[in-house]
Every structure is written in structure tokens, then in C-alpha cells.
Amino acid sequence: MTGPKPGQPKPGHTTPGHPKPGHPTPRHTTPGRTRPMHLAAHLSAVDGTIVRTDTVRTDTVRTDPRSGSRSPSDFASFERLARTAERGLFDFLLLDEGLRLPEQRGRIRDPDVVGRPEPLTVLNALATVTDRLGLAATADATFHEPYELARRLATLDHLSGGRAAWHVRTSSDARTGENFRRGGHLDRADRYTRAAEFVAAARELWDSWTPDGTPRPFTHQGRHFDVAGEFTLPRCPQGHPVVVRAGDSEEGREFAASSADVLLSGRWAGGCPEAGRAFYADVKRRLAKYGRGPGDLKIMANAAVVLGDSAAEAHERAEEIRWQQVSPQTALLALERIWGVDLSGHDPDGPLPDIDPVPDPRLGPGRARHGDRVATAEKWRALARERGLSIRQTVFEAGARQSFVGTPESVAAELAESVARDAADGFVLVPHPAPGGLDEFVDRVVPLLQERGAFRTAYEGATLRAHLGLAEPVWKG
């Protein structure tokens, strides 16, 4: 009862049957042999809208998302989601990190704040109620320190038997800095160099014990960090926790190509497979420069899925969900973000303001630039003029659409096709406030993916690296 769970690997365990570095993954589908798809669930903020955990339900009964009495921080919400993801044989569950509450013009934005528990603490608890699911924590490279974070990630990897992942974020917000010792903001170039050096330093710490379990001192001296000492944990069951990076920018792609195992792409917010293919090819091309093969970095695209019994019903539901997301208050806030002034006196069902956006001195570097805001405002005004839209209708129309809307059959086909055509290696699902949430996907789409041979029918290995088909990193002594 109380011993280690069966199937958990010992430190130093390697997973057989997975490609080694430099061994190219098949790029094109041949009949009967499909490149395996990877799936993850992300409990997170999407475009500033934090997904409410209380609406991630296991039942399929429609309830008002606001009627729940359970606190969003209650462990039961996370446990339900993790169990569902594991039932669906997902590669991993990704949790976000909260560093400060979202604000707008110096005030807490109240419509979309539900609170974010500390992700590593939640994931260690989830390791107890799951056996195979990968556990990915977001942690910001700007507001953590390599020794502390590397130690906590290695701990999660040990305590979960090799299921830990780190989603490396880089923020540079001066307001976030007000909650931390280092304070202030870091400019764009610096935050990337800091994050790159952070990952390198963490890898040195993870490599500091020999594979046979002898601790050795480490020293890292660089532009951002000057640390030395002895790490307190042996080498991780996975060698290193899986490193995840999100971002479509030039810097983001290069960072991922040089040092990440998984790249999360937002490319598909609008559901354009061609953009996905171009992005995929571009990122995979960059790997060779770092002596890595195309299989060494998995590209997973964000996917918002809406299902229906018919295509028409799915589209109707997708609209309904988007209207829920664009509440009258959210619409005004979206507008305020562009105009930079208090618009709370405006009628969300009335016309757009006729004044121009105001430069906001509180918006430091790293926030939307004034010129961009003027351009967006002009675009939105044109849209509203052309089609006679109110504020709320304009925000609704200008906003991103769900990427996969349709029947379970059509969505499964589209997902499988996207992987087969090299537009992605997999998808990160964002459960939305909708009946069923992740359960509906797991119950209705996963079996169809499995029938097509596009997705695993059982976990083959015990570690997250095994699920992802990633080799254990070579020990650099």
C-alpha cells in the first residue's frame, strides 16, 4: 500500500524504444504508420481570461459556472482535471503561475480573477492521485533563482517517478517586480538572455551528481548568475525534467530550438493549418544548428475545441461560449486596454468611443505600444462602422475563434490530419467553461483518434519523456 507505485522507474532509468538524439523521426505519414500525436491540458489564462477551474466538470450536466460554491483553489477541481487527463492518456497537464493579479489602469481587474495556487505545490499533490500523467509547472525565469527552482523541479521529478516538466516563462513587467526582491523590469533582450542562462544553469545543477549517485560540487558563472555549491538531490529519474517553452516570436523559436523539449505554439488561435505548417517547418529547421534532430523538440499547438452532435450545433455552442467570454464588462476592459482611458461610463451595447487612444504613462516597456494601440483602435472602429456593431459585438468579432469546432468525427479527423501533414506534433487543450470540459473531449474524441491509430491506446512508458518520445538527456559530467 505504502511502497512506491508499480511501474515507477528508479533514478537512472531509461526508456527503451524511443528515438535517440539525431535519429530523425519519420516526417511523412505512410499508411498504417502514423506519427503519434501528443496531447496536453492547460489550466490557464487565455488572452487574459483565466479559465475557471470550477467549470472543469466531470459530469455533463449544464450548470451555471457561477453557481459553484467550491473555491477555485480547492484541490478537488485539480484532481478531477488531472484524473480526466490521465484517463484520456494525455502526455501532461500544465498549470500556470500567478505572480501578480491582472490589473488595468492601476486597479485589480475583477471580472476574470479567480486566483492561482502555486503550481509546483499542486503538482506534487497531483502526483499522489495520478500514476502516469506528466506534471508541468510554469515558473518564471525572471522572478525565480536557478538553485531554488532547479531543486524544486528535481524534487517533483523524484517524487512523481519521472513526470516533471518546467514551462519556462519570461516576464518583464515592472508591476510584477513590485512583489519580488529583484523589483523593476527587465528589458526584452535581457529577459531572454537571463532565461537562457537560467535553463543552462539548471541543467548544470541537474547534471551535478554522477549517474551512479555521487554528489559533486557545481560552479556557474555568467552574466546573470554566479552560483556555486552542491546540489541536494541525485540525478532525476528523467535525467532532466522536460523543458517546455511557449512563444511564436523569433526569440521564442530560437530559444526552443536551442534548449527546449516542447514548444507550445499559439499560432493556431485562428485555426489556420497553413500557418501551422510554415511555423512547424521553420522551427524544426532551426534544430540542426544546435546538433539536434527534428524529433528532439515537440511542437504542440494551442487548441480550443468545441464539440457538437452536428456541425451546426458545434458552431452554435462555440458562439455561445465566446459570448460568455465577452461579457459586457470584459468587452469594456478589452476596449480600455486599447484606448488607455476609463470607459466604464460607456454602454457596452452602444457605439465605440470617438476619441483616440491616450498614451498611458503607466504602461511601461513590454506592454502594448501606443502606435499599436492606435492601429488596433482604427481597425476596430472600421469593423464597427462597416457592420454597424456595438462595443460588445466588435470585441466579439475581433476576438480569436476556437480552432477546432465540429462533430467529434470531424475534430478527430482535423487533429490527426494536422499531425500527419506536419503542422504540429500535438495539441494543448484549454478546457473552456462549457458542459463537459475536458471530459467531453476524452470521452468522444480520444477514442476516435485511437481508432485512426493517431493516438496511444495505453501509456507505454512511465516517464513524461517516454510519453513524448524524448530521449533522456546525455549526462554532461
- Tell which positions 141-180 bind other proteins, by CB under 8 A: 143-145, 147-148, 151-152, 154-156, 158-161, 175, 178-180
CB 342 within 8 A of CB 360: no
**Minimum distance, C-beta of residue 9 to other proteins, in the bound complex (Å):** 11
Count of residues of this chain found to bind other proteins when the rule CB under 8 A is applied:
75
Residue 390 sits in the site that holds other proteins (CB under 8 A): no
- Interface pick for other proteins out of 14, 25, 34, 71 (rule CB under 8 A): 71
CB nearer to other proteins: give 132 or 144: 144
| Contact positions with other proteins (CB under 8 A) in 192-251 | 215, 225-230, 232-234
Q: Is the dihedral of CA 457, 304, 372, 337 positive or negative?
A: negative
| Contact positions with other proteins (CB under 8 A) in 35-54 | 52
Find the part of the chain contacting other proteins (CB under 8 A) among 3-11, 85-93, 252-260, 308-316: 3-11
Residue 4 sits in the site that holds other proteins (CB under 8 A): yes
Q: Give the DSSP letter string of 194-258.
A: HHHHHHHHHHHHHTSS-TTS---EEEEE-SS-EEEEE-SSPPBTTBSPEEEEE--SHHHHHHHHH
**Minimum distance, C-beta of residue 177 to other proteins, in the bound complex (Å):** 9
Find the part of the chain contacting other proteins (CB under 8 A) among 124-132, 261-269, 283-291, 464-472: 124-132
Helix axes 250-259, 273-287, angle to 10 degrees: 50
How many Å apart are CA 437 and CA 60, to the nearest integer?
Answer: 8
- Interface pick for other proteins out of 329, 376, 390, 450 (rule CB under 8 A): 329
- Interface pick for other proteins out of 39, 43, 99, 196 (rule CB under 8 A): 99
CA atoms within 13 A on the CB side of 128: 10
Encoded amino acid at 247, one letter: G
How many Å apart are CA 31 and CA 326, to the nearest integer?
Answer: 43
Residue 74 sits in the site that holds other proteins (CB under 8 A): yes
**Minimum distance, C-beta of residue 14 to other proteins, in the bound complex (Å):** 18
How many Å apart are CA 376 and CA 282, to the nearest integer?
Answer: 28
* Beta-bridge partners for 138: 167
CB 236 within 8 A of CB 162: yes
**Minimum distance, C-beta of residue 362 to other proteins, in the bound complex (Å):** 14
Residue 323 sits in the site that holds other proteins (CB under 8 A): no
